[in-house]
Structure 1
């Protein structure tokens, strides 16, 4: 049995990057409704200044190092060992709660790594679809605080994660899965679990669904009342939504749409949450309306610039959670993506997965440090900026300060390519006689307007491995 499981785990890890996993991605919303609450608008503006965040997936799936939650789901794109029955697999997966004992849990290490990378906000998975709680909830015994880790002083994991990141001046976001596949109020064991949706007809069992709605309300209330200041409630599982909100965009995902409404009463939840956390940003992913305060295209960057709040949530490696041997994106790849995202009006939320012992992989820490070496020198071209009309020209992207007085040009350097003698772009012409500063050095550089565009000469002696160059100037 153990041999079969090891073979299965290896297959799952290799499967993570395959096209089939696109079935669990939340696509970019196409409709946006601006908030009207002044405190929410103020918080949203502050969030739009941050630009770079960390999303941490950590749960039972870290123990064997497999894809988060989804192997529990009986859909065609999921691949499991055919010699293990589905029911036995679920028992095995949920039984990992007896083995999850992160004795080296070190949220301070995580927060420092994020700070070193230049990140400014956090989203932490308090509960993923598998229903395992990474906080000490009174609503369920299926929790990190009720297993082998229960006697540890930091057993209420979410509390210590949030505290550690607050000390590094991060905005704090709580990821919470609306579906809960472990709950008898969502996946009732009376019936088979055919797919990601709840597995009984809500219309025929209103009592059971009302119990789930109360369960969800109570858990979110715990997070909003017992864990200090929270800036973002990041709700995943967009198929749990009122039936009337299902549109052509949702149908294009390819997942089954039940005939009944999986409405959990978001107005009631958000009213409670914002009384506890005034100005709270609510991100009810892909459910258009007043509770999707910013949009979250997953594992991709929108093709064009957007004039609404959004973030691309993407993994540093191939997996959201920890997977042994995962291959991380290069420093240049992350920096180039960050630049493109910001120039298009968004933020980059980069996914990291801690190991089952509670520490980050050392190679992940090293990669974040390398990213930070560039970001922390050139952050003025990113943090607190807003979009500008002519935002892209070849390898160069453009942003501007919120007061529109300063323009920034960010030129990406192709990997394994030497820093050029000069860079050239056509739009965003500096004011005649104005100074242009290379942010990497903080010193002015020579530029001139030519028939080919703006030509900027670079000083000698720049690091040979720079992923990009950033310049500040006053534009015409």
Structure 2
């Protein structure tokens, strides 16, 4: 029955956006997204039963036939969408992005266009739907990850992460129609705030296909935000300035690195809280200091952070990961004014510090200071009227010529901590220094 529905819908939907130039996402919508600064990424699926990496371990650590049949025993009876969303909210996260479909092709929602989905597992319940509802109830923006490639689908030309061999029996036209059908299903049923794409780097996918799909999505929901992994132009695992005119989508996506400071093109770095995206037993977890350092340097570069957790096979987010997120939330409850709704700068992030700004305030994030002072470039046309730890004692600051010297308090909290500088004018209008 599902195959019949797919064929019928494919005839109706394929090429629906051909030749059309969609309007870009409203800048006000993108500003709202960037003001949130911090979100939760979740990589999860039947692969959690093996503790290997999602998608990439198929045919590597886990034999393909075994991997493709893990869904038959996937029964996460301890999954609780409300608990997941509360963990995100308590961490200070403002949006949540779930891997509805990763490169292995398995779907965490009951799709009308495939049998390889949550409805075919012993669990059967709609994971995506439950998270969408919980996010709405708790005031978290709900977002969906959906991959371009699918090594499991017969119509996608490449069937393994280890090979670039093109299957002559594949049908890319039918596959794109399948994607459009599923994306329409996701938008219609769950109304995502943002769609996070991935997997566009393989040869069968082209920028032209990406532009066509972007136009199709804008027909379905004009306000939906998409990342730039509909096209080939992206930072990926490099710290580089990309050509914004070549982006297919709305914002750039550095991966496992803090992006390059950019006041023009929106960007969001994604990081794992451990080393692997999907759950792995005893996986090494990042320290609180490292997580906070990433948050400060990301906001200081004018970007967002999407921090990933990998839930266990039974449906729980590991207690130690949840504990680390609560610690991050505690820091943000005290220092959130230096993160949410700010601009990066005016000083570029370095190892010792990062800076954010809002109104007449500059927030100096002290990261790894060397000695008891920080030397900064002077602020053109602005003077510092007051300097103090957020919620704490005043800090001595001197300006001499082209240099500002900040004397760090001997009794300062553990790094990172934030010094609030109040100026005699607007900080947001300052150039990047």
Report the TM-score, using the length of structure 1 for normalisation.
0.74
1: CA distance, partners of 2:305 / 2:218: 25
Find the counterpart in structure 2 of residue 119 from structure 1: 93
Pairing partner for 2:201 from 231, 236, 239: 239
Pairing partner for 1:72 from 58, 62, 70: 58
Find the counterpart in structure 1 of residue 293 from structure 2: 336
| Deviation, structure 1 residue 115 | 1.2
| Deviation, structure 1 residue 148 | 0.2
Q: Deviation digits for residues 57-88 of structure 1, max 9, x if unmatched? A: 00121111111111225xxxxx548xxxxxxx
SS at match of 2:311: coil
Find the counterpart in structure 2 of residue 61 from structure 1: 47
**Number of residue pairs matched?**
389
Closer/same/farther in 2, CA of residues 290 and 42 from structure 1, 3 Å limit: farther
Closer/same/farther in 2, CA of residues 117 and 243 from structure 1, 3 Å limit: closer
2: CA distance, partners of 1:198 / 1:49: 43
Mapped pair 1:360 → 2:327: no
| Deviation, structure 1 residue 338 | 1.1
What are the residue-to-residue correspondences of 1:176-215 with 2, within 5 Å?
176-186=146-156, 193=160, 195=162, 199-201=166-168, 208-215=171-178
2: CA distance, partners of 1:377 / 1:115: 15
Mapped pair 1:435 → 2:386: yes
| Deviation, structure 1 residue 267 | 4.2
SS at match of 1:62: helix
SS at match of 1:167: helix
2: CA distance, partners of 1:36 / 1:298: 27
Mapped pair 1:277 → 2:232: no
Q: Deviation digits for residues 404-438 of structure 1, max 9, x if unmatched? A: 53222111157xx9xx9x65332355955723342
What are the residue-to-residue correspondences of 1:33-432 with 2, within 5 Å?
37=23, 39-72=25-58, 79-80=60-61, 89-150=63-124, 155-186=125-156, 193=160, 195=162, 199-201=166-168, 208-228=171-191, 230-240=192-202, 245=207, 265-285=209-229, 287-288=232-233, 289=246, 291-302=248-259, 304-305=261-262, 307-392=264-349, 395-401=352-358, 404-413=359-368, 423-427=373-377, 432=383
| Deviation, structure 1 residue 444 | 5.5
Closer/same/farther in 2, CA of residues 361 and 449 from structure 1, 3 Å limit: same
2: CA distance, partners of 1:236 / 1:436: 43
Q: Which runs of 5+ in 2 are unaligned?
A: 1-20, 234-245, 426-433
1: CA distance, partners of 2:416 / 2:149: 40
| Deviation, structure 1 residue 269 | 3.2
Asked if the contact 1:341–1:348 (Cα under 8 Å) also holds between the matched residues in 2, the reply is: yes
Q: Which runs of 5+ in 1 are unaligned?
A: 1-34, 74-78, 82-88, 246-262
Find the counterpart in structure 2 of residue 455 from structure 1: 406
Closer/same/farther in 2, CA of residues 142 and 242 from structure 1, 3 Å limit: closer
SS at match of 1:383: coil
2: CA distance, partners of 1:39 / 1:55: 22
| Deviation, structure 1 residue 118 | 1.1
SS at match of 1:49: helix
1: CA distance, partners of 2:355 / 2:249: 27
SS at match of 1:453: strand
Closer/same/farther in 2, CA of residues 305 and 475 from structure 1, 3 Å limit: farther
SS at match of 1:350: strand
Asked if the contact 2:262–2:302 (Cα under 8 Å) also holds between the matched residues in 1, the reply is: yes
2: CA distance, partners of 1:394 / 1:194: 36
SS at match of 2:146: strand
Closer/same/farther in 2, CA of residues 321 and 362 from structure 1, 3 Å limit: same
| Deviation, structure 1 residue 170 | 2.1
Q: CA RMSD in A?
A: 2.9
1: CA distance, partners of 2:176 / 2:200: 15
Find the counterpart in structure 2 of residue 32 from structure 1: none
Q: Could you say which structure has the greater relative contact order, defined with CA pairs below 8 angstroms and 6 or more residues apart?
A: 1
